[in-house]
Amino acid sequence: MHVSIQGGVSTAITRGAALNCHAIQIFSHSSRTWAGPEIPDAEVVRFKTLHRTLGMGPILVHASYLINAATCDPDKRKKSRKALQEDWILSNRLGVSGLVLHPGSSAGQSVESAIARVGEMVREVLETPVAGRTRLLLENTAGGGKTLGRNPAELESLFKTIGHPSRTGLCLDSCHLYAAGFDISNETGYEKTLQDFCRVAPGGVSAWHLNDALFGLGSGRDRHTHLGIGYIGPWFFWKLLKDPRFRGCPMILETPKTDGEREDRLNLATLSILEQQPEFEGDSPSLRAGLSALASER
């Protein structure tokens, strides 16, 4: 589950553990600002101790949405590089497994030159000396506007340009796949899509973002909804949980939160009902009850 860091980054681990999560994702600070307060060493120690003692598995940090590693604007470029570098250093200090980054937007330039700019900035950040072993995970995008990373070809050339195969990886977001026109809601579309995307990064898929899509196939709109009640529907999430290619791969929910933890618990319950089904049963009473509770939250 993506969880809040209100009260300090270490509180996120307690929140995730209270939800029985084995993997969590956090923002290092508000995702709509360039920088957050300096995180003291004592808080980093608290974070690492809780990570170990509460038995939490993989933790991801999601980089600020303001960062655009492809921008041509010199001021925005300077700010983006600094923010990305700060998140990279912090992620390594915290000892998390991945830092998730949206590749950027190619506005005002060709896709090729945008990819080259991303490569230059990300390489420079990855070459910052750090003691940790965090991987930088590029996330596929919903395909709206000029966002980069909407299809396997763009992601593949981003990874080639960046290099550093042992420090990079791919994070796939199910809502973004669907919004970008990849129909993962049925067997044929699922297999084709995953074969194509699994090939783009040297290490395959390092993490998943599990979100249903609020808008239709190919909408280009990055709007998440609760698992099983959007356009993707429950079959995909059942299929993914059973897919041996992703065993052990962190899967993070970034579903809407409007009502404390109630929706988080309902989404997690949906996954656990699906996980317990040897064959997909869309009409199981417990699944139907969970989905209708989620639908009423919209």
- Told to judge if 102 belongs to the known catalytic residues of this protein, a careful annotator would answer yes
Backbone φ and ψ of 226, nearest 5°? -65, 150
Site for Zn ion in 213-252 (CB under 5 A): 222
Q: Give, as ranges, the residues between 43 and 102 that touch Zn ion (CB under 5 A).
A: none
Q: Which is nearer to Zn ion, 154 or 173 (CB)?
A: 173
158-177 footprint of Zn ion as x/- string (CB under 5 A)? ---------------x----
Active-site residue flag, 139 = yes
- Single out the catalytic residue among 51, 150, 224, 226: 224
Least distance in angstroms from the C-beta of 179 to Zn ion: 8
Dist CA 24 CA 263 (whole Å)? 16
Q: How far apart are CB 188 and Zn ion at their closest, in Å?
A: 24
Residues 32, 204: Cα–Cα separation, whole Å:
30
Taking residue 1's Cβ as centre, other Cβ atoms within 10 Å add up to 24
Tell me whether residue 2 is one of the annotated catalytic residues: no
Active-site annotation holds for 176: yes
**Torsion angles phi and psi, residue 92, rounded to 5:** -70, -40
Task: Based on the shown chain and the rule CB under 5 A, indicate whether residue 209 belongs to the binding site for Zn ion.
Answer: yes
Position 150 contacts Zn ion (CB under 5 A)? no
> Which member of 135, 209, 212, 226 is catalytic?
209
Q: Which of 2, 15, 51, 62 is catalytic?
A: 62
Name the H helices within the chain: 11-18, 41-53, 74-94, 111-126, 152-162, 174-179, 187-198, 234-242, 262-276, 285-297
Q: What is the DSSP string of 14-42?
A: HHHHHTT-S-EEEESS-TTSS--PPPPHH
CB of 249 to Zn ion, least distance (A): 14
Q: Is 212 among the residues that bind Zn ion (CB under 5 A)?
A: no
Binding residues with Zn ion: total (CB under 5 A): 3
| Interface contacts to Zn ion, rule CB under 5 A | 173, 209, 222
